[in-house]
């Protein structure tokens, strides 16, 4: 699975309240969540993000509460994947559950800058900065998690497997 997009650079400890402020938690419509993604941290994000863009962040991305609204708001905004030095465990699981790919790469987190464009091979775990072809490594996404992403999340993946008569 290949992705290409422009970088939105964020720092360390981006918690779920920064991703989608608590005042929007009564919303369940993905498009409405997207309109309010990073409303307090980066007010221009929702109107400027483009399909395929990539978030690059520091450590502990997605810390805070376990709300699924946070990765859903990011995915619905058009972001294709998130690269960070590290992720909070519950955010990591919630993101894959809704089909939003994540890669951990301390080197890419440090070296990539706002506005850089990258090409990412999820299966190989490679992140290439387009302007200078510099490659950053990441652990590839395990095959079963890649299948969940391809299906659009855990629920569509499970439905597809049941429909095919496969064990879940």
Return the CATH fold of 2-140: Aconitase; domain 4 (3.20.19)
Dihedral over Cα of 27, 30, 32, 38: its sign:
positive
Q: What is the pLDDT of residues 126-152, one digit of tens each?
A: 999 999 999 999 988 999 999 999 999
Contact between 3 and 81 (Cβ < 8 Å)? yes
Q: What is the pLDDT of residues 150-164, one digit of tens each?
A: 999 999 999 999 999
Per-residue pLDDT at 35 exceeds 80:
yes
Dihedral over Cα of 107, 91, 143, 5: its sign:
negative
**pTM here?**
0.94
Over range 65-72, report the average pLDDT. 90
- Strand pairing of 117-121 and 126-129? antiparallel
Phi first, then psi: what are they for 141, rounded to 5°? -70, 130
Task: To the nearest 10°, report the CA torsion of 22, 29, 88, 7.
Answer: -100
Distance CA 20, CA 18 (A): 6
Contact between 36 and 21 (Cβ < 8 Å)? yes
pLDDT value of position 50: 97
Give the count of beta carbons closer than 10 Å to the beta carbon of residue 119: 16
Domain positions in the chain are 2-140
Dihedral over Cα of 152, 158, 161, 163: its sign:
negative
Phi first, then psi: what are they for 7, rounded to 5°? -85, 135
């Amino acid at each position: 699975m290949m992705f290409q997009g422009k970088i939105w650079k964020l720092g360390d400890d981006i918690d779920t309240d920064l991703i989608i402020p608590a005042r929007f938690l009564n919303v369940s419509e993905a498009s409405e969540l997207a309109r309010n993604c990073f409303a307090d941290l980066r007010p221009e994000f929702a109107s400027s993000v483009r399909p395929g863009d990539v978030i690059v962040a520091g450590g502990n991305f997605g810390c805070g509460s376990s709300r699924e609204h946070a990765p859903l708001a990011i995915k619905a905004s058009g972001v294709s994947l998130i690269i960070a030095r590290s992720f909070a465990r519950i955010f990591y699981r919630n993101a894959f559950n809704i089909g939003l790919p994540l890669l951990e790469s301390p080197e890419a987190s440090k070296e990539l800058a706002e506005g850089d464009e990258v090409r990412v091979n999820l299966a190989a775990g490679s992140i290439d900065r387009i302007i200078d072809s510099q490659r950053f490594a990441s652990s590839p996404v395990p095959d079963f998690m890649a299948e969940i992403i391809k299906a659009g999340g855990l629920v569509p993946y499970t439905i597809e497997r049941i429909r095919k008569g496969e064990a879940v």
